[in-house]
Every structure is written in structure tokens, then in C-alpha cells.
Structure 1
Amino acid sequence: MRKASHKSCTAKVPSTIDLVNRNLAKRKRAEWRFRVYGIGAILFGFICLLILFTDIISKGHGAFFKTQIHLQIHFNPQRLQVLQPGAIEQFNNANYDNVIQDALFADNARISPALLSAVDKRQLLSLISTGAVYSLRETLTDSPGVLNQSVGVWLTVDDDVDNYVKSLAHGGEGYTGRLSQQQQSWVNRWIENGQVRQTFNTTFFTSGDSREPEQAGIRSALMGSLYMLLVTIGLSFPIGIAAAVYLEEYAPINRVTDFIEVNINNLAAVPSIIFGLLGLAIFIGFFDMPRSVPLVGGLVLTLMTLPTIIISSRAAIKAVPSSIRDAAYGLGASKMQVVLHHVLPLAMPGVLTGAIIGFAQALGETAPLLMIGMVAFIVDVPADLMDPSSALPVQIFLWSDSPERAFVERTSAAIMVLLAFLISMNGLAVWLRHRLGRSHQ
């Protein structure tokens, strides 16, 4: 009996191989779960990004197209109030509203012989964009021979008509908005007659801001962002690299340099609106510089971008092997030669990557620009650094607060343009890092 019980107790003790196999199985299951968590996190982020892009593109792609109506315009000198038909300078001040009215009334007479009431006339005129007069003025200025002749012209419609036609084109019942039943019937008749078309909206890229959605564009904001980015690159890039080289290669290790490093790291984590307050107090309050100009915006973005460039440049310089420096010193190179001819070229991929990412961040900033007055309504395209202008993120902010439905399209389209610039800049940073990294291998 004792021998049997002893054997049974011995049989229950697991062997070393069994313990090892159990531990290996547990480790494999843990590794599998860890991989699943990582893949799940990536998929979750990708799905969120896909939903974001789908929502923005679905709302904004319509802004790249505009609706136009074909009308037979008779350039009557009497209705245009052109007293001297040969004087081209009078074309700028001609009354183009009269010929548009005549064309609409003549077109409507073919639709319905009944006389239009005053209310119907106002509703009919409101279907055409107020910017149509500029198209007619350009046509008459480019071709003075059309005076006193009838010419078929495509004119941009009002934003409510544009939304209505686009919703019909996408298979819906048509977003009526502020259109009355009578206006909808006119538009439907134009569609049936083939007088309505969708064309690429060049106005979105060639015009400044406007209170009329169909005339609003991003050119003024794009130029303002470009000028500010040029100022930021011209100042923050050389200053940031010089500061990083000094702190990493020349500065002694003491309390002063430790204090500087701590403050640079802290400035990199400061909210961007604080830099806007700093720019408002220094550049506008102390130096009395004008508000809403690209120069001030570029200076503010330079202050915001400098800590990022300094930190990334220092990390790139520190990553250069010390053997490179020792070999250069062994060949008799001076400190400056070592830094300029060996350290900086090898660190340049990381320096450029950090700098471009910092510039991309500055391009998308809104809060500091709001603090220096770049939220103003700017129509004209800036010609230099001292002309009032807006910025693309600020333009998006202004359009998102507009009550008109058509501005929802413009807001999403402007976001698409901004994202295209940001993705391009980040792609350029990756390409430069890869290309320069290969050239130094």
C-alpha cells in the first residue's frame, strides 16, 4: 500500500519539459494578444482617419464645381448706358444688371407667356449670382465687337440654385433651401432645356473671400499663408540650426545652459495661443506694427516653431557618431570645419525632417493668428508682407461660422486643400530623410 501511494504522488509532479512547454504556450499566447492589440490599435486609427477623410471629401468635393446657366445676352448700348460705344473705358462702369434682366425676362417669356409680377421679377433676378456682372464686363472688355449684338453667355447662379442643382444631380429630391416653388419650377425648366451645366470652379482658387458663397475663394488666404511661411522659414531655420549647433557643440555644461535647455523644452509644450499673446504684446503693442499683416504672423509663427526646430536639430546633431569628430580632429580639422564639413551634413536629414514638420505645424495654426487680428474679412489678395491678409486656417474658421449652407462645402474644400499641403510637406520630410540618409551611407 505504501509503495502504491508513493507511486501515485510521484506521477502527479510535472516534469521540467512540461513546465517549459506550458510557459512557452503562455508566452506565445501573450505575444499573440500583444500583436492583436497592436493591429487593433492601428486598424482603429485607420478607420477613424478613413471616416474623417470620407466626411470631409463627401461634403467638400462639390465646392470644386459650380453651376452655370446659359443665357442669350444682348449687349444693348442704351441698356448698358454706354454713351460712347467706342470708349472702352466706359465698359467698367456699364450697367450690366439691365442686360441680365432683359435676358432673364425674355427667357421667362418663353417659359410662361403670363406677365411677371414685381415679386416674381425679384425672385427671378435672385437666381443669378451678383458676380455675373463681372463675367459680362470681362466679355465686353475682351471683345468690344459684341456691343449691340446678342451672345450666348454662361453665367454663375446663386448659391441656393447651386445647392439645389447639385442635390438633384446626386439623386436626391433637391435641397430647396430658400427657393420658392416658382423659383424651383424655373430652375427645373432650365435643366430640362439643357441651359444648366456643372463646370470646374476656378473662382475658388482665383478669388478672395466674399460674403456670397458662389464668389468666395481661397487665393487671399493662400497667399497670406505663403508669405507667413516664407517669413517663418527665413528666420526660424537658420536661427534654430545656429542655436542647436551652439548648444550641442560649443556651449559649456553649466547652470546657464541647463536653464536654457529647460526653457526651450518648456516652450515646445506651451499652447500656441500663448505665442499669439506674446506677439500681440511685443510686435503690435510695443513695436506698433500693423495688425493682420503676414510679417507679424510670420514672426509669431517663428517664435512658435523655433523650440521644435532647436530640439530636433540637437537630436540629429547628437546622433552623429563621435568617431566622425575624432577622425576629423585627427586629420587636423578645426572645430568649425568639423561642424560645417562633417557633423552638419550627416545631421541634415534629421534637421530637415524636424524643420519641415515644424513648418507644417505652423501652416496649420489658427489660435496665434486670431490673437494678432488676422481674423478680419479680407477680400483683396496681398501683394507683399505688409498688405492685410488672412490665412488658410483662419479662412476655414471664418467659413465654418457662416450660416449659409454653401459655406459648408467651401469649408470642407478648404480643409482638403490645407490637408493636401500638410501631407505634401510631411511626405517631403520623409523623402528628404530617406534620400539624404542614403547619400551619406
Structure 2
Amino acid sequence: MTKATTKVSVGKNLKTIDLVQRNLAKRKRAEWRFRAYGVSAILFGLACLLILFSDIIGKGHGAFLQTQIYLEVTFDSQRLNIDDPTRDAQVRRANYDNVISQALIVQHERDNKATATKAGSPITLSALDKRQLLNLISTGAVYTIRQSLNDNPRLLNQTVGLWLIADDDVDNYVKNIGHDGKGFSSRLNKQQQEWVNNWIAKDQVRQVFNTTFFTSGDSREPEQAGIRSALVGSLYMLLVTIGLTFPIGIAAAVYLEEYAAKNRVTDFIEVNINNLAAVPSIIFGLLGLAIFIGFFDMPRSVPLMGGLVLTLMTLPTIIISSRAAIKAVPPSIRDAAYGLGASKMQVVLHHVIPLAMPGMLTGAIIGFALALGETAPLLMIGMVAFIVDVPNGLMDPSSALPVQIFLWADSPERAFIERSSAAIMVLLIFLITMNGLAVWLRHRLGRSYQ
């Protein structure tokens, strides 16, 4: 080989190496860009989630605090119209607004004693001022006074200091008083704000944990509204959904995977199950409205009705996830069991289902979590009714937590917006807990096939 041929060969090799290196560099840059796109998408999603949670928590954390006003209340028997405080009928029908109004007037006179006339005549309030003063106290304060008299009948004709629930406008004002008017407009007039500021200066206003939010049902007054009725209704519906969906879904999945013949009928069933899983949830509400209410004449707004509708909606998802878990069991497990003389039922019950159970539970819990947050199908069957009492059974009228959030978010009062955000926080805690439980069960019950 001549020197010229050798130089040409070396030159071609150098060109090939340069071409390969350029291609490798190009591929590495493309791979880096692809990874950067993926990381950017994840960061963008996390940022949106963080913004969403920050907005919800920022608006709703105040609902867990309740403003109270300290007043010295005189249980005047004449103003209350009570002769015998041990008689429940008289205690229930007593005029508690009268003693609250009198306590406010006395408090106002005491606060303005320095500006009283030289003659010492009491400062009189107009009827409008008295009404505006009384509006600072919640209408639910009468229950506090009545409960105090019920617990201790000796309070009649005595003066006792009590912490009474403030009106929602006062509650909003106290929580936003530090804003100095930036982004906050109080519904209290100047005179009412002056009264509240005076009470704050004298430590007659405090904020405590809002137990009413968790122990009371819905109310037209924001400071008295709670989620207990909706929360209990959601739990009843979830129990019905779990009790029907889980056994039916697993049984259907086992039959389709282990027993059903592969023909046009089973193909038709599989196609329809997959289609039902993609149907909008409001369609299931229309189906429940037509069948359970229209045909079977079942009552509206009861947990049993809501549970049946959520069962129809969740069942396709449970069947699909259960079938996928059964398919994931290796055929060698079945063959080994058959080789030891096990019957078809023994193989399914003793080997297939136990090994597929983690995947089944994971899919089921995720499906139940989705059902817990559904609103559209429940609106179609009348769960939007205004329910105050806590349901005691599956056939008692009730609401649901997502529907309660929907109703509060549509209310014009600012305090209801705060409570709807707080209810969303409670619902998110339930959903995160259920999803975390699904992940834990999958790792806890998962088995290795090796």
C-alpha cells in the first residue's frame, strides 16, 4: 500500500470519527432537551399545585377561628319572661334577644361613661343604634345563653360574664383589621367599627378554635354553619359505595378473567365496561334520576340514593383495575397450583386473588376517592337541598361535602367563601389520606413472584 492510499484511508477514518462524534453530540443535546422538558413540566405542575394550595389555605384558614365578644349578661326574669327556670318549655321560649340587647346597652353606657352629661343622666341610644349594636352579636348567641340557664337554673336574676359568638361581619373585620383597608372592605359602618375597636382595646374580643365548623350542620348564618351534616352524609354514601362496588367489581373481574369464554359476548361486555369508565359523571346522575327516582320512586337527597349513583359511576373503574391486577399474576402460579391437584376455585381463591389483592385495593381506593369528590351526579338526584340536621341513617335527608362546598361558594357572604375554602381543605385531607392508604397497602401487601 502506498503512502497516498494510507493518507486517504486515514482521512476517511478521521471524517467518520468526526461525523460520529457530531451525531453523538447532537443526540446528547436532544436527550438533554427532552429531559429538561420533562423536568420543566414537573416543576410547572408542582408550581400550579403550590399556587392552588396556597390560595385555598390562604382563604380558608381563618374559618377554623371564631370571634367571640365578652358581655356581662343579666338573666332578668321579667325580660326573659321566665317564672320557673326548671321548666323546659319556658326556657325554650324565653326572650334571650332582650337580655342580649340590654347587656349591649349597659356595656355601651359603661364605655361612654366619661362622655356622660354633668347631670349624670344615662346616654340614650336611638332605635337604629340599638339595632346596629345588636347586629354585632350572632343570632346563635341565644343558644349559648339558653344552654347556660339550662345547666344552672340558679343564674336567673343573676349577672354572669359570657363569651358570645360574634356576627360574621364582625368576625371578618377582626380577622382583617390589620390590612388597614388594603384589599378589604368591611360591611360594618364607622360607628360599629368604633364599638368593636373599643372592645378589642379592652380585651373583650377574642378568637378561639371554631368547633362549630365541625359539630354543626349547614346554616344561613355563616358563623353558625358547619360541615358535620355534609361530612356524615358523605361517609354514609361512601359506605354504601364500598359495600356494593368492591364485592361486585371483584366478582365481575374474576369471572371475566378466569371463567368467561373469549367470544363476541365477552368482547361486547369488555368494550362497554371501558366505555362506561369514560362516561362523564353527570350522565350517571341522569341515569340515577331516571331509574332510582323515576322508576323505583326512591326519595331524593338520601345517602342510600347517592351511594347507589356513585356505585354505578365507580363500578367500571373497579372492574378494570381488578382485571389488570389479575392479569399481572404470572401463569406459572396457576400452573404450579394445578400441578399440585388444586381445583379451579382453589387456584382462584387461594392463589390468584391474594396475589392480585394489592392492585385491586389500590384501584378500589382511588375509585372511592374520586367518588368522594364528585358533585355533578349528586346535584342531579337532589342532594343540593338545604339540610341542617345530621343524618342518623341511610334514609335520612342529607347533603354531601362536595355539594356543601358548591352551595357555600355560590353564596354572596364573604364568610361563606372562607368556609368553602376550609371545607375544601378538609376534603383534600380525606382524598390525600385515601390515596396515601392505597400506596401503603400496595407496598404492605405486595408480594414477589420470584
Question: What TM-score bracket applies, with the shorter chain setting the length?
Answer: over 0.9
Report the Cα offset of residue 86 of structure 1.
3.9
Q: Does 1:37 align with 2:46?
A: no
Report the Cα offset of residue 15 of structure 1.
3.1
Residues of 2 paired with 1:87 and 1:234: CA distance?
46
Report the Cα offset of residue 152 of structure 1.
0.9
In structure 2, runs of 5+ residues without a counterpart are 117-122
Partner of 2:119: none
Residues of 2 paired with 1:433 and 1:397: CA distance?
33
Partner of 1:244: 253
Render the CA deviation track for 1:102-140: whole Å, top value 9, x for unaligned: 110000011234310111011000010000001111111
Residues of 1 paired with 2:343 and 2:84: CA distance?
79
- Structure 1 residue identity aligned to 2:156: L
* 3-state SS of 1:69 partner: strand
Q: Is the 8 A contact 2:85 2:149 kept in 1?
A: no
- Structure 1 residue identity aligned to 2:412: P
Partner of 2:397: 388
Bigger mean CA deviation after superposition, 34-43 or 175-184 = 175-184
Partner of 2:82: 82
Partner of 1:219: 228
Residues of 2 paired with 1:91 and 1:169: CA distance?
41
Q: Does 1:430 align with 2:439?
A: yes
Bigger mean CA deviation after superposition, 177-186 or 193-202 = 177-186
Partner of 1:316: 325
Report the Cα offset of residue 90 of structure 1.
2.5
Q: Is the 8 A contact 1:65 1:199 kept in 2?
A: yes
Report the Cα offset of residue 433 of structure 1.
0.4
Residues of 2 paired with 1:136 and 1:373: CA distance?
36
Render the CA deviation track for 1:141-190: whole Å, top value 9, x for unaligned: 11222222111100011111110000015666694532111111100101
Of 346, 360, 376, the residue aligned with 1:337 is 346
- Structure 1 residue identity aligned to 2:409: S
Partner of 2:23: 23
1:250–1:410 CA distance, 2 compared to 1 (3 A): same
Q: Is the 8 A contact 1:163 1:175 kept in 2?
A: no
Residues of 2 paired with 1:160 and 1:89: CA distance?
32
Written as runs of structure 1 = structure 2, the 5 A alignment for 1:167-316 is 167-169=176-178, 175-316=184-325
Q: Is the 8 A contact 1:160 1:176 kept in 2?
A: no
In structure 1, runs of 5+ residues without a counterpart are none
Residues of 2 paired with 1:174 and 1:123: CA distance?
25
Bigger mean CA deviation after superposition, 381-390 or 141-150 = 141-150
Of 410, 419, 437, the residue aligned with 1:410 is 419
Report the Cα offset of residue 332 of structure 1.
0.6
* 3-state SS of 2:154 partner: helix
- Structure 2 residue identity aligned to 1:258: D
TM-score (norm 1): 0.96
* 3-state SS of 2:61 partner: helix
Partner of 1:106: 106
CA RMSD, Structure 1 to Structure 2 (Å): 2.0
Residues of 1 paired with 2:22 and 2:86: CA distance?
99
The aligned length equals 439
* 3-state SS of 2:390 partner: coil
* 3-state SS of 1:15 partner: helix
Render the CA deviation track for 1:400-441: whole Å, top value 9, x for unaligned: 110011111011001101111001000000000010015887
1:85–1:374 CA distance, 2 compared to 1 (3 A): closer
Residues of 2 paired with 1:353 and 1:173: CA distance?
47
Report the Cα offset of residue 8 of structure 1.
9.5
1:243–1:69 CA distance, 2 compared to 1 (3 A): same
TM-score (norm 2): 0.94
Report the Cα offset of residue 365 of structure 1.
0.3
- Structure 2 residue identity aligned to 1:283: F
- Structure 1 residue identity aligned to 2:357: M
Residues of 2 paired with 1:264 and 1:12: CA distance?
62
Render the CA deviation track for 1:199-257: whole Å, top value 9, x for unaligned: 00000011111111101110110011000000000000000000000000000000000
Q: Is the 8 A contact 1:74 1:151 kept in 2?
A: yes
